[in-house]
Amino acid sequence: MAEFIKIYEENPNPKEIKRVVKILRDGGVIIYPSDTVYALGCDIKNNRAMERVAQLRGVKLEKANFSFVCEDLSNLSDYVKQIDTPTFKLLKRNLPGPYTFILPGNNNLPTVFKKKKEVGIRVPDNSITHAIVQELGNPIISTSIKDEDEVIEYTTDPELILEKWDNLVDCVIDGGYGGNIPSTVIDLTGAEPVVIREGKGSLEL
């Protein structure tokens, strides 16, 4: 049974944030709100938890395209090769925000992703997410939760999410109704930014 934890985005309760972070540190998998859709997440430093997230998404972990959700751009150098000034300025203009930026990964990527040449970085504009990552002290890996329904691609009601995922994850955060438009994905590994997926937000180039 998953813990169902209500957290208000306007003013996230530090006590509840600590509860969530304890679950993450203990190797738990959570469902949490972001500035786009609800997502599955776990501690980037816990391989077993990452395996569970991959299983839930039906993918092999080493091939999974999970995003790294960071507190801010200060985490970048932990996992990303040195980037040029125009790229950094583009990130600074648009983050926090509903974007996933694909950047060249460096040698510090978690062992399971060592063969990957690039990494998706997210800094969501959501105070719950921000508080969790800040309290944890390192990024979480993240992937959107999809719905089987062909009309509604993403479930927005936390109670319905709990109903479906209750026995699969350790915690569902009720942060209010979520969005149903995913992040815009932009590839910054080439000479020019390339939009891979149109989602929420209009990118400031």
What DSSP string runs through the chain? --EEEE--SSS--HHHHHHHHHHHHTT--EEE--SSS-EEEEETT-HHHHHHHHHHHTS-GGG---EEE-SSGGGHHHHB----HHHHHHHHHH-SSSEEEEEEB-TTS-GGGTT-SEEEEE--S-HHHHHHHHHHTS-EEEEEPP-S-SS--S---HHHHHHHHTTT-SEEEE-SS--SS-BEEEE-SSSS-EEEE--BS----
The pLDDT confidence band at residue 201, using thresholds 50, 70 and 90, is confident
The pLDDT confidence band at residue 161, using thresholds 50, 70 and 90, is very high
Report domain extents, the chain.
3-197
Predicted confidence (pLDDT) per residue in 93-128, tens digit: 999 999 999 999 998 888 888 788 899 999 999 999
**Third-level CATH fold of 3-197:** DHBP synthase (3.90.870)
Q: What is the pTM of this model?
A: 0.92
